[in-house]
Structure 1
Amino acid sequence: MIRRSLLCIAAAVAMLSGCATTTTTSAVPQPQAPGQIAAGKAEVLWLGQAATRITTPGGKVIVIDPWLVTNPKTPAAYKDLAALGKVDLILVTHAHNDHLADAPALAKRNNAPIWNGGGMGQALVSLEMVPPALAQRFGKSGTIMPFGPNGVKITAVHAEHSSELVWKNPATNKDETHYGGEPVGYIIELENGFKIWHMGDTGLFGDMRMIGERYKPDLVLIPIGGHFTMGPQEAASAVRDLIKPRYAIPIHYQTFPLLRGTPAEFSAALGVTGTSVIVPEPGQKVDF
């Protein structure tokens, strides 16, 4: 398990006050039963690109944008979907293959519904990628409580991107492009009140300030690769000027040559702020 304090950007590139103030005295969690973590804690496992597994303080497992099997950044062990363990719910931010790819297979393997806040679900059903029971829908600014009234709250929020769904027709063996809904991000409020904003793929937009002020995320998982999303400078502006979270984990970078942004560039552009930047390697876990 990697501590937040050990994952702050190295001193050579860090100009962050957050790294200097992060506690280093938290106790090592005791071994837990599968799917459980220490009381009051959340576990975030990043698996490359935007793929993320969140284990909540109540033991619920949420997987976001599971592109794993063909993802060059995903550790070999996690290219077997069984390695994720039990999955209770899947969130997909948009229909591009590097976010949706393994969601249908993971949903059917675990009988876990795919929730999407941008209108993708009907396409998944129409193309018979999943049965209707495994494609649940809501909309931007809508909030769901999928595990009951005292459980996790998930709100779909705006993202500035596109969402084409490219599907290989088994009858013709040719790719077809279908409506994939609208891109979204998700604010995930855990049972203990800790809030995570998985931003999916997005460019910089001014209403990030409004979303930050309304939902007050503690942690943002923010794309920094550039070309298709924010680059390091835009992501730094979003964090420093608009959202101001306690923690930021950069995602969606250097998976392909076009995604040139790096965590070091992000940290340098961010400058001195109250946000601690955490940079796990794919397959490493961070607890909060």
Structure 2
Amino acid sequence: MGIYLIKNLAAAAIASACLLGASFGIQAQTQTSSGAQGKTEVLWLGQAGFRIKTPNGKVILIDPWITGGPKTPPMYKSDLSAIGPVDLLLVTHAHVDHIGDAPALAKMNSTKLYGPADMITPLITLGALPAELSHRFNKTGRVTPLPGVKVTAVQAEHSSLLVWKNPATEKLESHPAGEAMGYIIELENGFKIWHMGDTGLFGDMKFISEHYKPDLVMVPIGGNFTMAPDDAAFALRTWINPKMVIPMHYNSNPLASGTVAEFQEAMKGSKIKIVPMTEGQTVQF
């Protein structure tokens, strides 16, 4: 069974200003209390989709909108298996540009899909995902899906709706899918990533930052559905103050028109390191 979006994307994609054409590495190794060091590799697949390779070689895939993503690198768009083995699937909410190919990838890899409880349930009851390939949890819930890897669900200020094509009628149906979430992902070496999912501003961003202390934040900047560049910059400068930030959720939908150039301008004077990426680019931390 497929999950579909009523497409309103324009034929011409928006070009993103100020992105570097060549891949680069961010050498920011983290260190645990035991002194062990390791690198984390991050690949941007477009929109909010990332593949993270942990220091111990495990692969985490977040919000994999791949075959339907207008900016997905062609090698992955045409062949899901090119992503390689996946050890952990995380989805922040049910909108198609986030859930995307997650059920197909779960079945392809015999890997559990972790996500908001009320998103996972309709996937199971509609037959889109086997129950044994799912894990339901909610905000402040913490799981250890891989050895040494902890994932905590945190607040996101956003909506969630599952659009599903009924195979009996061939018609699209809309199903409630609970609330959107973000994730604090703590890797084996203690490096912490906050994938914010889709979100607007909310004051508890400050609490989340103070309590979980993320090293790297993946922040939406596109506007319209999420924070615009200036609001994202306000949150980062005022409440979060991480070491590094990767802007995401822009350049794939003309309704989300925020750009990296606008974000960089709004971040001027901040000591937070901005890591702008192009779709298909890999960086290391």
Same fold at TM > 0.5: yes
1:1-288 paired onto structure 2 within 5 Å: 2-4=24-26, 40-79=38-77, 80-148=79-147, 151-288=148-285
Task: Confirm or deny: 8 A CA contact 1:122 1:135 kept in the other structure.
Answer: no
Match of 2:185, SS state, is strand
The one-character-per-residue Cα deviations of 1:123-177 (angstroms, maximum 9, x if unpaired) are 11001111101111111001101124xx100000000000010101011111111
Supply the distance in 1 between the matched residues of 2:48 and 2:204 (Cα, whole angstroms): 22
Supply the distance in 1 between the matched residues of 2:137 and 2:99 (Cα, whole angstroms): 17
User: What does residue 14 of structure 2 align with?
Assistant: none
Alpha-carbon offset, residue 282 of structure 1: 0.6
Runs of 4+ in 1 over 4 A off after TM superposition: none
Supply the distance in 2 between the matched residues of 1:118 and 1:196 (Cα, whole angstroms): 22
Question: Could you say what the CA RMSD is over the residues aligned between the two structures, in angstroms?
Answer: 1.5
TM-score by length of 2: 0.87
Q: What are the ranges of 5 or more consecutive residues in structure 2 without an aligned counterpart? A: 1-22, 30-36
TM-score by length of 1: 0.86
In structure 2, what residue type is equivalent to 1:192? Answer: N
Alpha-carbon offset, residue 118 of structure 1: 4.6
Number of corresponding residues: 256
Alpha-carbon offset, residue 83 of structure 1: 0.9
Alpha-carbon offset, residue 179 of structure 1: 1.6
The one-character-per-residue Cα deviations of 1:21-79 (angstroms, maximum 9, x if unpaired) are xx8xx9xxxxxxxxxxxx61111111100011011011111100000001111110111
Task: Confirm or deny: 8 A CA contact 1:143 1:155 kept in the other structure.
Answer: yes
Task: Confirm or deny: 8 A CA contact 1:124 1:135 kept in the other structure.
Answer: no
Q: What are the ranges of 5 or more consecutive residues in structure 1 without an aligned counterpart? A: 6-22, 27-38
More strand by share: 2
In structure 2, what residue type is equivalent to 1:196? Answer: I
